[in-house]
Structure 1
Amino acid sequence: MNSRKWVRLFFTTLAIGGAAGLVTSFFVKTASYTKWLNPFDFYDLLGVLVFFIGLGFVFSLVSQTGFFAYLFINRFGLGIFRSFWPTVQVLLIAFVIFDLVYFPYSASDGEGSLLVSMLIAAGILIYGWIIAKIKARETNQRAFIPALFLMVVMTTVEWVPGLRTSGTEYAWLMIVPLLVCNTYQLLILHRINKPDPGQAAKPAQRKKGSSAVSKNKGTKKA
């Protein structure tokens, strides 16, 4: 990946995170908008929009940091565990899913809903499974477990600050941009890593030119 592609990925993911944060705020922070609609106050309403877009930008940066950390962890794990690395990733996925159910419930001293925690964990797992299947279909089957690891483990690690907030509003405001940004980065990575058509054609042209020069030299010698 060259610097131009990296910059484009960075700003595209940033914009996607901002848009996801804004759209999510319409559903989970509706009151923040309605109080400026009646009576209508343009500047305060604009300030709310900018705030939630900026919040989406922040969560996008968290997602991008986690994504590049995932790329390093994946290479590091392959170097240490080698053929056992997929098994280690599956165990980590299972451990994180258990944590998503157990720790939020235990932190609430039994006052929280165990069913809600189970549904959240199941939702992240199912969504990650779907995205991992798409990644495996577009690349190869060996990409399934690393993709699932990113969507479940890395997303949950990135979501920890949101889980520690009181209430669920900011937890939702954080998890949606994280999932959307991680999905985009995962599914676009193998596409932007492909060489540009012009760059791919240059080596072929050079090879063809070298063959022609060699042929001409052979003809002159004959």
Structure 2
Amino acid sequence: MNFRKWVYLFFSTLALGGLSGMITGLVIKGDLNQGIVPLLGLAVWFLGVAIIFSLISQMGFFAYLTIHRFGLGIFKSVKLWNAVQLVLVAFVLFDLVFFRYTAFAKAEETIFSYLVLPFLLLILGLIVAFIKQKQTNKQAFVPALFFMTVVTTLELFPVLRANDSKWVWIMFVPLIVSNIWQMLTLHKLTGTASK
């Protein structure tokens, strides 16, 4: 991948993450009754915050590409490395429900409200992994699923600790949009898409 393609991936991810986060922030926290100028100020603020989330997504993506190469080198087998990744996916999704529920649940809350985010993450991860597999090869499924679930969860960790449901969604949307875009664009830029 040359510098021009990397710049395209960087700025397109930044734009998509920023816009999706700005829209999400305005939908969740915006108030149409406050007037156009305060709403525009809020939009600019959410755009800036979402761009930061998009940058976190990009750092996570390139960190995963490095870790994936290390994993292949350490385990010396794609099948074994994929099995390790699948175990980690299951572990992280379970922890995303269990630890959040035990740490933050109030007496009247059930565990079902804590299942929404991991379930959505798993469904989106499976969809993206299936598309990635179709566009490249069979070996891309597990790494794509791992990235979409485990790495996205790690990127969400600061806001998960705060346990503010509005901010969880304001951060989740630009992260997931950025991660999907990067995952489904990289092979097109590097010329590794299946013919």
Structure 1 unaligned regions, length at least 5? 196-222
Please state if 1:152 is matched with 2:149: yes
Letter in 2 for 1:49: A
Please tell me whether the aligned partners of residues 156 and 172 of structure 2 are also in contact (alpha carbons under 8 angstroms).
yes
Give 1:198-209 correspondences, 5 Å limit.
Answer: none
Q: Give me the TM-score of the superposition, normalised by structure 2.
A: 0.92
CA deviation map 1:115-151 (0-9, x unaligned): 0112221111011001100000000011000000000
Match of 1:92 in 2: 88
Give 1:50-199 correspondences, 5 Å limit.
Answer: 50-83=44-77, 84-111=80-107, 112-194=109-191
Letter in 2 for 1:102: F
RMSD of the alignment, in Å? 1.4
Please tell me whether the aligned partners of residues 54 and 174 of structure 2 are also in contact (alpha carbons under 8 angstroms).
yes
In the aligned structure 1, how far is the partner of 2:180 from the partner of 2:38? 33
If asked which structure has higher relative contact order (CA below 8 Å, sep 6+), I would say 2
Match of 2:23 in 1: 23
Shift in Å, 1:109? 4.9
Please tell me whether the aligned partners of residues 26 and 42 of structure 2 are also in contact (alpha carbons under 8 angstroms).
no
Fraction of identical pairs, as percent: 48
Letter in 2 for 1:75: R
CA deviation map 1:44-81 (0-9, x unaligned): 22210100111110000000000000100100000001
In the aligned structure 2, how far is the partner of 1:166 from the partner of 1:136? 34
Structure 2 unaligned regions, length at least 5? none
Q: Give me the TM-score of the superposition, normalised by structure 1.
A: 0.81
In the aligned structure 2, how far is the partner of 1:62 from the partner of 1:35? 33
Which segment is superposed worse, 138-147 or 21-30? Answer: 21-30
SS in 2 for 1:164: helix
Letter in 2 for 1:157: L
Larger of the two Rg values belongs to structure = 1
Shift in Å, 1:113? 3.3
Aligned length: 189
Match of 1:203 in 2: none
Shift in Å, 1:191? 0.3
Change (3 A) 1:100 1:166: closer
